[in-house]
């Protein structure tokens, strides 16, 4: 994979439950991480005393974080509503030159900040809340 623009890593939210995905506006920085818990099945009989892991077991999860400035009232309001209503709507995470991760996420935190002589900013984190799919480009 060659170098890509960071601005092309997008978090899109289904605004109305009908598959109308819109990029969450004003994001300046975005990060996604995938995790898989390991299930240790090592025993006294493990070859050479090496740890053994159970393939395909454990809980998989993804977390996403983003920060930016307010720009679009509709997506800002929807993200806020998702948090306060503890919803798990569909999101799409576009990873440039890689693919799209789709599935339900819950807003785990939503933070607002600002300085006297600067813009108001926000940060949000998302936690996967069900089966995620991946579609390669």
pLDDT, one tens digit per residue, over 57-76 is 899 999 999 999 877 888 88
pLDDT computed for residue 1 by the predictor: 65
Asked if residue 1 is part of any domain, the answer here is no
pTM of the entire predicted model: 0.85
Q: What value does the mean pLDDT take over residues 66-90?
A: 89
pLDDT in tens, 27-50: 889 999 999 999 999 999 999 999
Q: Among candidates 101, 95, 87, which has minimal Cα distance to 131?
A: 101
**82: pLDDT confidence band, cut at 50, 70 and 90?**
very high
Q: Whole domain around residue 64: which residue ranges?
A: 6-42+49-136
Strands 60-69 and 27-36, by their bridges, are: antiparallel
Number of domains in the chain: 1
CA atoms of 137 and 96, how far apart (whole Å): 9
């Amino acid at each position: 994979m060659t170098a890509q623009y960071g601005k092309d890593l997008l978090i899109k939210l289904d605004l109305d439950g009908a598959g109308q995905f819109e990029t969450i506006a004003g994001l300046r920085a975005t990060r996604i991480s995938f995790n898989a818990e390991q299930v240790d099945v090592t025993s006294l009989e493990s070859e050479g005393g090496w740890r053994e892991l159970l393939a395909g077991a454990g809980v998989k999860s993804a977390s996403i974080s983003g920060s930016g400035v307010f720009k679009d009232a509709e997506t800002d309001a929807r993200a806020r509503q998702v948090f306060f209503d503890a919803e798990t709507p569909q999101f799409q995470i576009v990873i440039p030159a890689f693919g799209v991760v789709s599935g339900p996420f819950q807003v785990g935190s939503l933070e607002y900040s600002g300085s006297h002589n600067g813009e108001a900013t926000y940060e949000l984190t998302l936690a996967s809340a069900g089966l995620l799919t991946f579609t390669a480009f």
